[in-house]
């Protein structure tokens, strides 16, 4: 029988009832102190028919924040808040993993403890504006991380992973995409270092490999996913040779036998034009389960799974507007239209009030 979006699949230790994954979606609706609250519980539980939910990107420490009203995963209160989310998703038969996030330079002193400068591989100010509690403001030049500071950041990933697992999450996903800290180390447009973390592919990938090894040592490889975006220009990102770089990265990741590799296949967030890239070529180099993301609909998703290109497909905006997206795809029902004005911040409007088919 041909495989499709509705076929079950096992990604590492995580058994999915279907291959439709809810992509990580920043919604800026956490409670005070970065604590998930009842509104977040409702939102995730509504979408539990997805084969897997990847949570919104979740800062691993105070210095990892880059936007208002984000949930964290480093305090007891945050962990307790997430446990309510996990329990609600599990009660509905769903599976959920937490996405581990450090934004690096994509932040602003007003969002960080003691008005600290954001940190980055190199002191290169990104183009664009930071989204703060006082509106949009210019990014600042970040502070270059000293190599001796990196082990502490690796340990922040470890601590956050332990917090996530203590809530009963089915696994974690390392966010190494979309112009945030780990991606900033990978791509030479943001990494101009001359030490062991800059220059060669091996050096630029070193922090990612150290973080991955550390997270795997806590969670187990079969409960660890990882997300990359080889050519997404969002957050002022670029690389002089993305194909060779990411072919190297995925080949090196093979050693971990991760639950899955989650790939943003192009550019998102209107960040400019993405460079040409052969995702089929990179896919052939990766030996594990592959989750494809970007602009997939039902037909493209089914085709990618049937051809063997992907083992699962991550959907973003369709899951925002259609909590019952799986059922709608199954019966070819019309989709609710997403209200982009309510994507980031706000109340239940545009968050938990999208209608279900049977409503």
Q: What is the pLDDT of residues 104-124, one digit of tens each?
A: 999 999 999 999 999 999 999
Q: Which of 336, 220, 309, 337 is nearest to 19 (CA)?
A: 309
- Burial of 116-125, coded b for 16+ CB within 10 Å and e otherwise, reads ebbbbbbebe
Q: Which of 98, 106, 89, 113 is nearest to 140 (CA)?
A: 106
Element at 352 (helix H, strand E) = none
Looking at residue 270, its pLDDT comes to 61
Looking at residue 358, its pLDDT comes to 82
Averaged pLDDT for residues 193-218: 98
Alpha helices (H) in the chain, listed in sequence order: 38-46, 76-91, 150-166, 181-186, 201-204, 206-219, 242-253, 279-285, 298-307, 317-321, 325-331
Instruction: Decide if pLDDT at 271 tops 90.
Output: no
* CA terminus-to-terminus distance, the chain: 33
Instruction: Report domain extents, the chain.
Output: 9-342
Alpha helices (H) in 92-205, listed in sequence order: 150-166, 181-186, 201-204
Instruction: Decide if pLDDT at 98 tops 80.
Output: yes
Active site residue 180: yes
- Cα separation, 34 vs 256, in Å, equals 31
Q: Please count the other Cβ atoms lying within 10 Å of the Cβ belonging to residue 352.
A: 18
- Cα separation, 101 vs 59, in Å, equals 5
Instruction: Decide if pLDDT at 232 tops 80.
Output: yes
Looking at residue 274, its pLDDT comes to 84
| CA 52 and chain centroid, separation | 13
Instruction: Decide if pLDDT at 267 tops 90.
Output: no
- Cα separation, 207 vs 213, in Å, equals 10
Looking at residue 268, its pLDDT comes to 80
Reported confidence tier of residue 313, pLDDT bands at 50, 70, 90: very high
Give the rounded percent of residues in the chain with a pLDDT score beyond 70.
99
- May I ask the CATH architecture of the domain 9-342? Alpha-Beta Barrel (3.20)
Q: Please count the other Cβ atoms lying within 10 Å of the Cβ belonging to residue 142.
A: 22
Q: What is the pLDDT of residues 316-334, one digit of tens each?
A: 999 999 999 999 999 999 9
Instruction: Decide if pLDDT at 146 tops 80.
Output: yes
Averaged pLDDT for residues 87-91: 98
Looking at residue 273, its pLDDT comes to 79
Q: pTM, whole model, 2 decimals?
A: 0.98
- Burial of 156-167, coded b for 16+ CB within 10 Å and e otherwise, reads bbbebbebbbeb
Instruction: Decide if pLDDT at 359 tops 80.
Output: no
- Cα separation, 308 vs 287, in Å, equals 12
For residue 113, CA distances in Å to 27, 64, 117 come to: 22, 10, 9
157, 180, 286, 315: which is the annotated catalytic residue?
180
Q: What is the pLDDT of residues 35-71, one digit of tens each?
A: 999 999 999 999 999 999 999 999 999 999 999 999 9
């Amino acid at each position: 029988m041909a495989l499709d979006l509705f076929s079950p699949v096992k990604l590492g230790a995580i058994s999915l009832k279907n291959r439709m994954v809810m992509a990580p979606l920043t919604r800026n609706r956490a409670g005070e102190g970065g604590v998930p609250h009842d509104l977040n519980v409702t939102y995730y539980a509504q979408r539990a028919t997805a084969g897997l939910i990847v949570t919104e990107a979740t800062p691993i420490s105070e210095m990892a924040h880059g936007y208002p009203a984000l949930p964290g995963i480093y305090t007891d209160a945050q962990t307790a808040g997430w446990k309510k989310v996990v329990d609600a998703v599990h009660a509905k038969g769903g599976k959920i993993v937490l996405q581990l996030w450090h934004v690096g330079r994509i932040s602003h002193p007003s969002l960080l403890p003691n008005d600290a400068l954001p940190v980055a591989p190199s002191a290169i100010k990104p183009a664009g504006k930071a989204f703060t509690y006082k509106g949009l403001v210019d990014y600042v030049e970040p502070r270059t991380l000293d190599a001796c500071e990196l082990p502490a950041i690796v340990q922040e990933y470890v601590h956050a992973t332990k917090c996530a697992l203590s809530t009963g999450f089915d696994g974690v996903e390392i966010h190494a995409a979309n112009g945030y800290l780990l991606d900033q180390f990978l791509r030479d447009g943001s990494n101009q270092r001359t030490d062991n973390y800059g220059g060669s592919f091996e050096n630029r990938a070193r922090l990612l490999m150290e973080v991955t090894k550390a997270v795997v040592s806590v969670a187990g490889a079969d409960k660890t996913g990882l997300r990359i975006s080889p050519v997404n220009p969002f957050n002022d990102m670029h690389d002089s040779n993305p194909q060779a770089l990411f072919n190297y990265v995925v080949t090196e990741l093979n050693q971990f036998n991760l639950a899955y590799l989650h790939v943003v296949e192009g550019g998102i967030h209107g960040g400019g034009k993405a460079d040409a890239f052969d995702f089929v070529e990179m896919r052939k180099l990766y030996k594990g389960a592959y989750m494809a993301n970007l602009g997939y609909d039902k037909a493209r998703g089914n085709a990618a799974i049937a051809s063997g290109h992907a083992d699962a497909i991550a959907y973003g905006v369709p899951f925002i507007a259609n909590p019952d997206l799986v059922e709608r795809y199954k019966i070819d029902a019309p989709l609710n239209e997403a209200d982009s004005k309510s994507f980031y911040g706000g109340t239940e409007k545009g968050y938990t009030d999208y209608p279900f088919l049977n409503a």
